[in-house]
Amino acid sequence: MKRPCDHCHKERAALKRPKTSEQLCKACFYSAFEEEVHETICKTKIFRRGEAVAIGVSGGKDSTVLAHVLSLLNQRHDYGLQLFLLSVDEGITGYRDHSLDTVRRNEQQYSIPLKIVSYKDLYGWTMDEIVKQIGTKSNCTFCGVFRRQALDRGAVLLNADKIATGHNADDVAETVLLNLIRGDLPRLARCTNIITGEDSPLPRVKPFKYTYEKEIVMYAYFKRLDYFSTECVYAPFAARGAARDFVKQLEQARPRAILDLITSGESFRIGDTAQLKLPTPGNCTRCNYISSQPVCKACVLLEGLNSGQPRLGVARSRGSKKKGNPTPPGATPLPAVPSHPASSIHIEPLSLFCVYSAAMDHS
Ligand SMILES: Nc1ncnc2c1ncn2[C@@H]1O[C@H](COP(=O)(O)OP(=O)(O)OP(=O)(O)O)[C@@H](O)[C@H]1O
């Protein structure tokens, strides 16, 4: 016979909590999971009453659970947030089309309005078309850069104040490790910030910063949430490989290791030399997107695609001084994106870092 729940001592335990090793019944697990996210939101003050929040939803487990939990906590604790679902359709047949079906169902299930923006409309290219040009070697670079901008542009169209993403504690711990391995001190110092996006028009927040991936999967499973669990067809091995495996091994030996890695990252402070490396944000001269270079990375990549030299932007690490309109025939010119005051937030180009690490993995 199973032992009783460590919290309520009434119901029988249904699971062992990965984060704490406690034996809990389902109800106590849901409550612990949700209230920890609530505590993170309150302590870090990532939301203000009345704000419009665009939740970046891919249809995957993390963002689906995020949409579910934010909607629930918004009602339960009366945050006064206006929530939206925001999806980027990268144009990947057999992957994103299916996950978008999930997101459309989520719109009904959670009664949260959904906006979908597509690479085809914004840039004139789908990822399927890009992969035909570039192959599967540097495709993640294009996808990451385009997705970041697409999320920003979608959120601006929604008049959102913030973007919330489903990045979890495992993601943050991996980023700490990767920055440490690469000796990237400025990024190491920033990568644990819960509010990021100084290099974007809108702040980005990670309510799951302290939430373990395993618990997100358990929560989704026990609550029978409707999510899509297939890997991207173009990047089944791109995801941070060794760092991910290492974090999982550490967690197996000692569950607290994930939180400890985050705490180590948080304790890091950079000196003046490293501070000098931080780029100064300006605006892209072509599309007006916030950029530390005269031409933003997306425009450089587009220029390469449209001129039949798709490796152009991949080979160059940053920016381009070439002139010309990168918008292809038939594509919507990119709408102007306002910038937000840099002083009001911390910076952490986590998504850009994913792109960077994917590029490193492929190189
Ligand atoms: N196509 C997309 N549309 C909207 N948001 C996205 C998209 N892809 C990723 N995101 C956001 O970025 C976060 C991290 O991206 P990542 O690539 O790890 O997501 P995923 O593995 O596709 O799905 P999930 O994180 O939801 O399980 C997601 O949780 C989500 O908030």
Confidence class for position 185, pLDDT limits 50, 70, 90: confident
Atom of ligand 1 at shortest distance to CA of 96? Answer: 1
340 has a pLDDT exceeding 60 = no
Q: Which residues touch 85 (CB under 8 Å, ≥6 apart)?
A: 54, 55, 57, 67, 103, 106, 107, 110, 112, 113, 114, 115
Spacing, Cα 77 to ligand 1 middle (Å)? 26
Pocket of ligand 1 (CB under 6 A): 56-58, 60-63, 86-88, 147, 151, 165-167
Is 307 marked as a binding-site residue? no
Kindly give the number of the ligand 1 atom that is closest to the alpha carbon of 164.
31
Best mutation site among 53, 57, 61, 63 for ligand 1, i.e. most ligand atoms within 8 A of its Cβ?
63
Give the tens place of pLDDT for each residue, 254-306.
Answer: 999 999 999 999 988 766 555 556 677 789 999 999 998 999 999 999 999 99
What are the pLDDT digits (tens) for 56-99?
999 999 999 999 999 999 999 999 999 999 999 999 999 999 99
Nearest atom (ligand 1) to Cα of 59: 26
Dist. CA 67–CA 57, nearest whole Å: 8
Nearest to 143 by CA among 355, 292, 313: 355
The CA distance from 231 to 259, in Å, is 26
pLDDT for 227-249, tens place per residue?
998 888 887 555 567 888 999 99
ipTM score assigned to the predicted complex: 0.97
Closest ligand 1 atom to Cα of 63: 26
Residue whose CA is at the smallest distance from ligand 1 atom 5: 56
Q: What is the mean pLDDT of residues 171-180?
A: 93
Q: Is 217 annotated as a binding residue?
A: no
- For residue 351, the CA-to-ligand 1 centroid distance in Å is 10
49-60 pLDDT per residue, tens: 999 999 999 999
Cα–Cα distance measured from residue 300 to residue 322, given in angstroms and rounded to the nearest whole number:
9
* More reliable by pLDDT, 268 or 27: 27
pLDDT over 70 percentage in the chain: 82
The type of residue at 284 is C
In the numeric block, which tokens belong to residue 342?
């840099």
- Determine contact, residues 138/359, Cβ cutoff 8 Å: yes
Closest CA relative to residue 333, chosen from 179, 123, 164, 169: 123
Pocket test for ligand 1, best of 37, 53, 58 (most atoms within 8 A of CB): 58
Q: Position 165: which residue type?
A: T
User: What pLDDT does residue 268 have?
Assistant: 80
Q: Given the CA of residue 61, which atom of ligand 1 is nearest to it?
A: 27
Task: Report pLDDT for 343.
Answer: 30
The answer to whether 57 is annotated as binding is: yes
Cα 2 to middle of ligand 1, angstroms: 37
